[in-house]
Chain A
Amino acid sequence: MTRGVIVPLESARLVEYAVPIACYVCEGQNNFDAEYCRYCSAPMALAHQASSQKVFPQMVATVGASGVGKTVYLGMLMDMLSRRPKQVQLLARGAFSITLQQTTLAALGRCEFPEKTPNEPDRWNWVHCQIRRPKQRQTMELIMPDMAGEAVLQEVDHPNTFRVIRAFLQKCAGAMVLIDAVKLKESGQSQEFFTMKLISYLGELSDDTKRGWSRKPVALVFTKVDQCEQCAKDPTQFAQTHASGLWQQCEERFRQYRFFATGVAGACAYRHSHENGRVHVPLRIEPHGVIEPFEWLLSKLGPSGRR
């Protein structure tokens, strides 16, 4: 998506326009002043920042079915990491990187879950951040978008529907795959099948045995475990018991994977809404197991590239 602007006819400006800027995600050529990539709708700010700061941030995916809790997880993760002084710390790069944290925390503070992420990629929140780890001098640069679950599902079912998702996942250094523990336990296998499809999709993205997903770290994170104590206690055992197909597929496809359990709400109720039907409402916010999957993933990632 390109923003139309009236530019005075100056030679310096014309030079800028003559040199295209490559989208950081899909590498499509864009105008100098494009806000979003014209091909994949990723924000061009990512490319500008990488260029000006002389670093190549690594990309980490947070994917899962619609309603699994990706926005809550990412927003909460960002806020928790930015409030801990002596441990792993997160510093947002650019104002746009704080929007996700801001909207998520504002909603949770009101005892509401944030609104569903829209399907349109140009309305997704992208996070570019710097990670500082204790006892490690070198910082890490990461890009983590909050992609809509329905868009991911469409891309998985119909490859190339969303170019941004495919391009992003091809470039990712690792992933956190979120799975709704309550739905997995209570509502049959739809969660398991979706996750299996996703893992299968990742596996097919690259045939490269050295750089493909088989060698990339994947954290499989059960969400909403405040309502599923069995999962909170032992997520690996829970996966073997309630998602044996998924567990087997992980065994076959990934060399580095681990199951985690996370929960953000202490207890939940729901209310009826005219617009959205039955809406879940958190009665209090007590994050558990939010940072652990991310820290594990960081420990498996290499350093950020530099120009």
Chain B
Amino acid sequence: MRANRRAIIMGAIGAASAVILGLGWYWAWAPLAAGGGVGLGFVLLQWASGSLGFRSGGPEVPPPDTKSETAPPAVRSSMEPTDPSDVDALVERMLAQGRYALLLRPQIAATLNEEQLDRAVTALQEGMALVPDGEVVLGRIDDALDDGQLEDEEIAACEGRVIRVEHFFLDRYPVTNGQYYDFVAGDGYRQIALWDEKIWPAVLDFVDQTGQPGPRFWQNGCYPNGLEDHPVVGVSWYEAVAYARWVGKRLLTDAEWVKAGSWPVSLSPNTRVQRKYPWGDAMDRSRVNLWGSGPEGTVPIHEFADGVSVGGVYQLIGNVWEWTRGDFEPVDPLHRELVLEVPMKSVRGGAFDTYFDNQATCQFQSGETAIARKRNVGFRCAVGACDLMLARPADDFGVPTESQGASIEEVPV
């Protein structure tokens, strides 16, 4: 177990370093070099909380106008200013902003006290579901799934691919307007380290109806009143990626998305059970918000609870399409090659206006250009289990060595 834990932590350090040092090398290390006496954990925490973020030009985000129809009901506690030197306050703020995954990165988690770490882990358990490792079949295999089982011959006939996925945590719900508001109001659009370099010129164009940074259908930097717990829409793939980085997560791969929904199980080396929909093999429109089964718009993320996946993930099918990390695979259902005028990113799951059942399955993939900001496309985030530190070394808390080696198996799902 000790070796297992060490492997997890070392893996997390590697992964987190790639993200944090790759994106924030200059901003994180320059103050460290200058200050000399400041601890690395604190600097990383400051970087993560945005206090060391790069400031670009652009209009100021005004404080929420509580009289406006588009304003959230009140200023969220997560946006209250904190003293940059107050680590506890920074941690509190990040927990309030839902950035627990960032706190659980090994580099930062090592600086937290026991109570803070517990709270971060609790937040992780509440907000995310653990998807176990294993194999998943990807491809146009829906017809072969009619009996729920997949033989190797069927996979080959459908040109399906078997892909192995490692343990990962997945948001139980799509990212909401309320959550995304924290990112917008927390200057997420100005922290250039969060954005892919090639998209920098376009970031200033990612504005709402009033020209403020934010999702396309917001106004004055705020979501429409009453939609706080609806999925955020009108965000491009790049905005989704930037948000995911801001909260210490990432977008899912296509294989991860399909695995979370179809929850495959290997019955034998040649036979698998893989669901067509998160609840089984037949469409049941009472479980999903698709065309004709909902209000012809988004619904709050807690609704349609009967459509929850085996792992406890809501609304994988319906409500909004979800950006994934991968590219759209340009082939039609008959495996004929398609030509795209511009490359597309993959979206999955169908939305409130999806018409056909067979276009809202776990396997169905559609595409959208990465800068498209559509009314029916949102996203959710994931984080690799190996990228997080879920328990401190026992010695640090003065508990017996036997309890060391907290592994993902010990985390309640």
Which A residues are closer than 8 A to B by beta carbons? 83-84, 108-112, 266-267, 269-272, 281, 283-288
Contact = CB atoms under 8 A, between A and B. Distances in A.
A272 B337 CA distance: 8
Interface stretch (B199-207, B310-318, B347-355): B347-355
A281 B292 contact: no
Given A267-B366, A270-B338, 5 more contacts: A266-B368, A267-B344, A269-B339, A286-B353, A288-B353
Contacts of B286: none
Contacts, number: 61
Interface string B331-371: 01110111111001000001101111011000010111000
B340 A285 contact: no
A111 B331 CA distance: 11
B332 A284 contact: no
A111 B354 contact: no
A285 B353 CA distance: 8
Contact of A84 (B292, B340, B350, B353): B292
A108 B337 contact: no
B343 to A, nearest CB: 11
Contacts of A287: 291, 353, 355
Interface of B: 291-292, 328, 330, 332-334, 336-341, 344, 350-351, 353-356, 358-359, 364, 366-368, 374, 376
Nearest to B356: A109
20 contacts: A109-B356, A109-B359, A110-B334, A111-B332, A266-B376, A267-B367, A269-B338, A269-B341, A271-B337, A271-B338, A271-B339, A281-B338, A283-B328, A284-B350, A284-B359, A284-B364, A285-B356, A285-B359, A286-B354, A286-B376
The 5 closest A-B pairs by CB, nearest first: A269-B338, A284-B366, A286-B353, A285-B355, A283-B366
Contacts of A283: 328, 366-367
Nearest to B365: A283
A287 B292 CA distance: 11
A271 B337 CA distance: 7
Contacts of B350: 284
A83 B355 CA distance: 11
B353 A269 contact: no
B335 to A, nearest CB: 11
Residue from B328, B338, B367 with most neighbouring chain A CB atoms (10 Å): B338
B339 A286 contact: no
A269 B328 CA distance: 11
B352 to A, nearest CB: 9
Contacts of B337: 271
Contacts of B374: 266
A269 B334 CA distance: 15
B359 A269 contact: no
Given A111-B332, A284-B366, A272 B339 contact: yes
B332 A108 contact: no
A277 to B, nearest CB: 12
Contacts of A267: 344, 366-368
Contacts of B351: 286
B364 to A, nearest CB: 8
A272 to B, nearest CB: 7
B26 to A, nearest CB: 38
Contacts of B366: 266-267, 283-284
Contacts of A288: 353
A286 B332 contact: no
A127 to B, nearest CB: 19
Contacts of B338: 269-271, 281
A6 to B, nearest CB: 44
A281 B354 CA distance: 16
A271 B336 contact: yes
A207 B339 CA distance: 50
A112 B376 CA distance: 21
Given A84-B292, A281-B338, A287-B291, A271 B355 contact: no
Residue from B339, B364, B368 with most neighbouring chain A CB atoms (10 Å): B339
A283 to B, nearest CB: 5
A269 B332 CA distance: 10
Given A286-B351, A287-B291, A287-B355, A110 B333 contact: yes
Contacts of A284: 350, 354, 359, 364, 366
Given A109-B356, A287-B353, A271 B332 contact: yes
Nearest to A232: B375
Given A83-B292, A108-B356, A109-B356, A269 B330 contact: yes
